[in-house]
């Protein structure tokens, strides 16, 4: 018999996408499904970016430089300066989505069997990249009671072994929405310095913070060789389908090694690099408008959730996600039940069970992630559904 | 000290791109450099594909399905039927370039330490994908004397071990231009059946054959579960910067496993999928015109090369590459010398040393690859340069 590889078997199916068939079945029954399950923003991609594509003047869709268009990297350096990150274009490799930046980091810094520490709950696809790279994810649990703040640094100390090569921090966090403080980032700095680790910083949601500005890992001083920024335009400019990200580090040796992985796959898509370049010239108030919209939604969803009986939702400081604790037995079963067996005025809501975001088995059974990527009217309708559902869910558990 | 991973160190720099600094220096001196070193076609990307991009009607650049747009996959199935390949859209995963299709195949079918057999010389980036996947490439040498035909099947038998999981065949071949015959493909079928191996078929140049049609690995019967087609629109439609490819197999278990790798990186770029979809509707004579142009160039370059003293270039049946044996000591040194120390009427030529295409150290020292991606006038000028260069190269060796 022809075999699938062991890693092919171990690779997890997307926990966010596995409920899709149930959603499709609900829609076929004529039900409206409010999608709070996936981080696909409903905000328009800025017209300037769309214009860059529509007006692209080319006769041949040629390979670009493996590191990305030089003009784009130079503009990106300007953008980074505007958020207090001092890098030049040779310290940036354009990647095919933030996804590829993460995979490149795992590949270039870790060998099979090496370990990376990640506070859980975490972005589920880190598991996939880890399996592709043959490395192990060591989770450290953060908790809903304190809004998923950074776990005590002693917890990290306990998990560090000779195999530990890096810590991953997603800031602001997906799925928790937590915005790490400068103090927490400084604690991370101390531990990566002490143990000589890389700090992989996934900052896809940099601009989306509602109470205090994001403190970037690239703002830390004295750890320039340790920090790798894994970035993307997907969420920042509502351009998820562009597949344009960036691998950024001041570590020259690491840039050189990563360039070889970039050369392996030749280049990132050309047209979306043009769109990314156009984004740098957006007016200064672009993020203000987007942020105001997300903040309004966050305030609404958090208020609605906490008004429900036995529901707790800490106020997330960033990104466009909220994690809520619900009076349920099993978030996978509940989310499936919402799609399969529940309706309220012929409507229902799709949520992401939190179990898929935890590396530790058995955690997240009472938690769900809600992406507030719908307008406030739809969020209200979705919350009406959830409120009704929790009243009648047969396996209620406080 | 922070370390780069072992695989990051082992990853080879692109042998095609490593001479770039010398070419840049030559240009700075005011020299014209004819680029026969890289497979970037000079043919225009079809207007219909550019129109699909320019007229793309979207407000949000959204994620697509991880397997690619369903409409595109359905049209691709129609294209494949037109070349005698019977697949449906569920047997196709759109990938980010042919590169990603190769990486997915290595990852989903082989585990670290497993082996893949590849006739050499071969596309140099297979080395990079193998290192990324932690697998070993076992080369089997093909020879310029018989135009790089498939090595005798006994040579394959000798190299097969318990670790062997697949054979890779690039057809028509990059770098040799060899177009494998139906007989040779049938020989491969027997051996993959006998030893229960995957056959990875890289058919990027399918349409570009000049004497006889390509015989696809997907035309083989009785090995439907063994064959994986790794495809791309890069060369077919002169759209290298699109980064759109396809992973195609009738092996359901393998499609399911590969889908998990596809979900990990979310999706391929949206706009270029539209361009790929538009390509399916190109008029039936599209390839005739392109092929006629490439054939004219091939005929010219082969004639010019064989007219040079002590140069041998077998007539390549496909792709847009020719391999030539030159009276030189070391192809790397010679190609560098062409850029650094040689000029003829203030012009020179850039070639790809063949050493980078061999897995066996020490092979390819007298061979170079020429990509005939320039018009016939420029090819003539480039051949004039090469002819003069060989007359005065100080380390001539027959």
Q: Cα dist. B281→A61, B41, B48, B49, B241 in Å?
A: 18, 21, 8, 9, 20
Query: Over chain B, what is the mean pLDDT?
Result: 97
Where residue B96 falls among pLDDT bands split at 50, 70, 90? Answer: very high
Residue B52 and residue B194 in one domain: yes
Residue A94 and residue A263: Cα distance in Å, rounded? 11
pLDDT digits (tens, 9 = 90+) for B228-286: 999 999 999 999 999 999 999 999 999 999 999 999 999 999 999 999 999 999 998 99
On whether residue A293 sits in a domain, the answer given is yes
Neighbours of A145 (CB within 10 A): 10
Residue A144 and residue A189 in one domain: yes
CB contact under 8 A, B43 and A56: no
CB contact under 8 A, B240 and A63: yes
Q: Structurally, how many domains does chain B consist of? A: 2
Residue A188 and residue A174: Cα distance in Å, rounded? 18
Percentage of residues in chain A having pLDDT higher than 90: 96
Is residue A8 pLDDT above 80, yes or no? yes
Residues of A in contact with B196 (CB under 8 A): 1-2
Closest CA to A128 of B104, B77, B350, B292: B104
pLDDT digits (tens, 9 = 90+) for B338-360: 999 999 999 999 999 999 999 99
The distance of B357 to chain A (nearest Cα, Å) reads 14
Neighbours of A81 (CB within 10 A): 12
pLDDT digits (tens, 9 = 90+) for B31-76: 999 999 988 899 999 999 999 999 999 999 999 999 999 999 999 9
Nearest neighbour of A265 by CB, restricted to B38, B99, B225: B99
pLDDT at B14: 81
pLDDT at A284: 85
On whether residue B374 sits in a domain, the answer given is yes
Q: Which domain holds residue A343?
A: 6-44+286-392
Residues of A in contact with B272 (CB under 8 A): 61, 269, 271
- pTM comes to 0.97
Residue where a domain terminates, one of A279, A301, A329: A279
* Interface test mutation site (partner B, options A125, A269, A275, A279, max chain B beta carbons within 10 A): A269
Where residue B370 falls among pLDDT bands split at 50, 70, 90? Answer: very high
* Interface test mutation site (partner A, options B192, B251, B263, max chain A beta carbons within 10 A): B263
Q: Cα dist. B390→B36, B307, B312, B343 in Å?
A: 16, 12, 13, 12
Residue B219 and residue B137 in one domain: yes
Nearest neighbour of A7 by CB, restricted to B107, B269, B271: B107
Q: Which CATH number does the domain housing residue B308 bear?
A: 3.90.1150.10
CB contact under 8 A, A243 and B132: no
Residue B245 and residue A56: Cα distance in Å, rounded? 22
Q: Cα dist. B199→A240, B45, B63, B213, B361 in Å?
A: 34, 31, 31, 20, 25
Is residue A70 pLDDT above 80, yes or no? yes
pLDDT digits (tens, 9 = 90+) for B286-324: 999 999 999 999 999 999 999 999 999 999 999 999 999
CB contact under 8 A, B125 and A266: yes
Residue where a domain terminates, one of A228, A259, A279: A279
Q: Find the mean pLDDT for residues B14-29.
A: 89
Q: Which CATH number does the domain housing residue A246 bear?
A: 3.40.640.10
On whether residue B1 sits in a domain, the answer given is no
HSE at residue A263, side-chain half, CA atoms within 13 A, is: 20
Q: Find the mean pLDDT for residues A276-296.
A: 96
Q: Cα dist. B215→B121, B146, B186 in Å?
A: 20, 19, 10
Residue A38 and residue A99 in one domain: no
HSE at residue B195, side-chain half, CA atoms within 13 A, is: 23
CB contact under 8 A, A198 and B239: no
CB contact under 8 A, B269 and A96: yes
Residue where a domain terminates, one of A279, A305, A334: A279
Residue B217 and residue B202: Cα distance in Å, rounded? 9
Residue A250 and residue A338 in one domain: no
Closest CA to B188 of B231, B209, B164, B217: B217
Cβ distance B237 to B266 under 8 Å?
no
Residue A235 and residue A363 in one domain: no
Q: Which pair of tokens denotes residue A146?
A: 């304190």
Query: Over chain A, what is the mean pLDDT?
Result: 97
Is residue B15 pLDDT above 80, yes or no? no
Residues of B in contact with A11 (CB under 8 A): 257, 260-261, 264
Using a 10 angstrom Cβ sphere, with 0-12 exposed, 13-18 middle and 19 or more buried, the burial of residue A339 is: buried
pLDDT digits (tens, 9 = 90+) for A94-137: 999 999 999 999 999 999 999 999 999 999 999 999 999 999 99
Q: Which pair of tokens denotes residue B259?
A: 């889908």
Residue B114 and residue B210 in one domain: yes
Is residue B132 pLDDT above 80, yes or no? yes
On whether residue A398 sits in a domain, the answer given is no
Distance of CA A301 to the CA centre of its chain: 19
pLDDT at B17: 75
């Amino acid at each position: 018999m022809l075999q699938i590889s062991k890693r092919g078997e171990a690779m997890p199916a997307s926990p966010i996408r596995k409920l899709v068939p149930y959603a499709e079945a609900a829609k076929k029954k004529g039900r409206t499904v409010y999608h709070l399950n996936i981080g696909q923003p409903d905000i328009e991609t800025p017209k300037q970016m769309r214009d860059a594509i529509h007006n692209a003047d080319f006769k041949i869709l040629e390979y670009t430089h493996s590191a990305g268009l030089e003009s784009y990297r130079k503009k990106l350096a300007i953008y980074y300066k505007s958020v207090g990150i001092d890098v030049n274009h040779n310290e940036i490799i354009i990647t095919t989505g933030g996804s590829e930046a993460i995979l490149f980091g795992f590949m270039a810094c870790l060998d099979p069997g090496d370990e990376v520490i990640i506070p859980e709950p975490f972005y589920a696809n880190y598991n996939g990249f880890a399996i592709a790279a043959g490395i192990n994810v060591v989770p450290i649990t953060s908790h809903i009671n304190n809004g998923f703040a950074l776990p005590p640094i002693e917890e990290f100390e306990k998990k560090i072994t000779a195999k530990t090569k890096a810590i991953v921090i997603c800031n602001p966090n997906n799925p928790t929405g937590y915005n790490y403080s400068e103090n927490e980032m400084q604690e991370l700095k101390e531990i990566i310095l002490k143990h000589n680790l890389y700090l992989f910083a996934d900052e896809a949601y940099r601009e989306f913070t509602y109470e205090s500005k994001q403190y970037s890992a690239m703002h830390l001083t004295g750890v320039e060789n340790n920090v790798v920024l894994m970035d993307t335009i997907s969420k920042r400019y509502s351009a998820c389908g562009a597949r344009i990200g960036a691998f950024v580090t001041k570590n020259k040796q690491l840039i050189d090694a990563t360039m070889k992985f970039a050369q392996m796959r030749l280049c990132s898509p050309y047209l979306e690099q043009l769109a990314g370049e156009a984004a740098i010239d957006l007016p200064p108030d672009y993020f203000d408008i987007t942020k105001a919209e997300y903040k309004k939604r966050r305030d609404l969803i958090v208020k609605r959730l906490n008004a429900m009986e036995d529901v707790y939702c800490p106020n997330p400081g960033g990104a466009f996600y909220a994690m809520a604790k619900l009076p349920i037995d099993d978030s996978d079963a509940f989310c499936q039940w919402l799609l399969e067996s529940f309706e309220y005025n012929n409507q229902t809501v799709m949520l992401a069970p939190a179990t898929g975001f935890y590396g530790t088995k058995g955690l997240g059974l009472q938690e769900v992630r809600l992406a507030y990527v719908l307008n406030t009217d739809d969020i209200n309708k979705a919350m009406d559904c959830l409120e009704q559902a929790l009243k009648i869910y047969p396996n209620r558990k406080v």
